[in-house]
Amino acid sequence: MKLSNKISGIKPSPIRKFFKYTEAAKKAGKKVYFLNIGQPDIKTPEVFMEAVRRDGREIIEYAPSAGMEVITSAVRKYYLRYGMDFSEDEIITTCGASEALRFIVDCICDSGDEIIVPEPFYTNYAAFVRASGGAIVPLTTYPENEYHYADRAAIEACVTPRTKAFLMTNPGNPTGVVLTPDEMDLIAQVAIDHDLFIISDEVYREFVYDGKPLKSFGQLDNVADRTIIVDSASKRFSACGARIGSVLSKNKELLESLLKLAQSRLCAPTLDQIGCAALYGLEQSYFDEVRAIYEKRRDAVYEELKKIDGIICTKPSGSFYITVKLPVEDAEAFLLWLLCNFDDNNETVMFTPAEGFYATDGMGRSEIRIAYVLDETSLRRAIELIRLALDKYKALGMK
């Protein structure tokens, strides 16, 4: 009874091993500031539960495999605001962006096929691609270079005869990098030149700061046939537990394949589709308010980080993450020490070591990801704790 190599080879979640240490720290009476979680702390708009409560169906029955009309039409209308005209047939409702990504990768990759992904990247991409039998070819980026990845030579160096797609999160997780319109054009042109799909994970789309425009690959006509957009209600509406995502594409052949996978698993959850349809119908002011909250938090985190000697970080333009290179050799060892051996006024801090966001061995060992989904005061204190801890760490002669 041997298990499959493809799943056995997936690394377990890097965060899991720290769970027992955060629990121990809490048991020891320490307050732990959690900067590691991508779970928004902003309330889910009440229209979600109102729509669910109002729904009077007596049988919680299957929804159509591609999604209920109520949600696909709401998603369609949301996209129209940004000048993207997807018909309801070009939108497939999924169990979160996670299922959307699995379906897409399965439709594209046979065993041995490759997908180029700028690293550091959202860890679970590795699981989705590996489960499909494919492989991620990482395009390594560096904190010293602001995690810039829209570089023709660098991308082309990753292309092989087995390359099927270029996959990125934009705005970025874990870096917060947002592609400029010129960079998007460059990636589009490389995709055309090498006949690649563009898989654009845009679940953080509304989280773009400094008044920069919200751009989507769905707005680029020259790659309309090869662009696959991943969308989700999770982050945008603080509705992660609703598990409602979407794939949007104008490629009929791909849509046919996606539909087969959608049909094979019957449907996404019915009531959550109804709740999320109400969310997609929220007015522009909702996005503006939420964006303003996150932008202030980003500013606070960045301001506090700048007080720390020897770190390398760039003010991120989007999402709610920032990746930071610390002046330590091993961020995991530093985190372990933070949880087990450090406190200031009985408080300490938890973040995500960034090594797990890299596919290349040895990369990212000094880097961490911070999620700014706490209130501003807590965020300032949490970054202060990192600063105080680093001082003590150095004073103790540790690196």
Residues within window 151-180 making contact with a copy of itself, judged by CB under 8 A: 164
In whole angstroms, the minimum distance from the beta carbon of 309 to a copy of itself comes to 36
Nearer to a copy of itself, 127 or 139 (CB): 127
**Judged by CB under 8 A, does residue 369 bind a copy of itself?**
no
User: Which string of x and - marks every residue 225-244 that binds a copy of itself (by CB under 8 A)?
Assistant: xx-----------xxxxxx-
**Judged by CB under 8 A, does residue 361 bind a copy of itself?**
no
**Judged by CB under 8 A, does residue 1 bind a copy of itself?**
yes
Nearer to a copy of itself, 61 or 309 (CB): 61
In whole angstroms, the minimum distance from the beta carbon of 335 to a copy of itself comes to 19
Cβ–Cβ under 8 Å, residues 130 and 106 = no
Phi and psi torsions of 139, nearest 5°: -100, 100
- Coil, strand or helix at 47: helix
Those residues whose C-beta lies under 8 Å from the C-beta of residue 396, and which sit 6 or more positions away, are: none
In whole angstroms, the minimum distance from the beta carbon of 298 to a copy of itself comes to 20
Q: Which strands make up the sheet holding 321-325, listed edge to edge?
A: 321-325, 367-371, 352-353
Using the structure block, give the residue that is written with the tokens 């999770």. 234
**Judged by CB under 8 A, does residue 379 bind a copy of itself?**
no
**Judged by CB under 8 A, does residue 319 bind a copy of itself?**
no
In whole angstroms, the minimum distance from the beta carbon of 342 to a copy of itself comes to 28
Strands (DSSP E) along 82-194, which ranges?
Answer: 91-95, 114-119, 135-140, 163-169
Can you give 90-117 as a three-state secondary structure string?
Answer: HEEEEEHHHHHHHHHHHHHCCCCCEEEE
84-123 residues in contact with a copy of itself (CB under 8 A) are 95-96, 98-99, 102, 106-111, 113
- Coil, strand or helix at 200: strand
Size of the site for a copy of itself (CB under 8 A): 77
Nearer to a copy of itself, 49 or 80 (CB): 49
What secondary structure does DSSP assign to 245-271, as a single string? EEEEE--HHHHHHHHHHHHHT--S-HH
Q: How far, in Å, CA of 296 to CA of 184, rounded?
A: 27
Cβ–Cβ under 8 Å, residues 206 and 174 = no
Q: Which of 31, 34, 52, 398 binds a copy of itself (CB under 8 A)?
A: 52
CA dihedral 219, 223, 225, 228 (to 10 degrees): -60
242-261 residues in contact with a copy of itself (CB under 8 A) are 242-243, 251, 253-254, 256-257, 259-261
Q: For a copy of itself, which stretch binds (CB under 8 A), given 20-28, 47-55, 340-348, 382-390?
A: 47-55
Nearer to a copy of itself, 202 or 304 (CB): 202
In whole angstroms, the minimum distance from the beta carbon of 89 to a copy of itself comes to 14
Nearer to a copy of itself, 21 or 82 (CB): 21
Cβ–Cβ under 8 Å, residues 32 and 167 = no
Q: Which of 27, 61, 153, 346 binds a copy of itself (CB under 8 A)?
A: 61
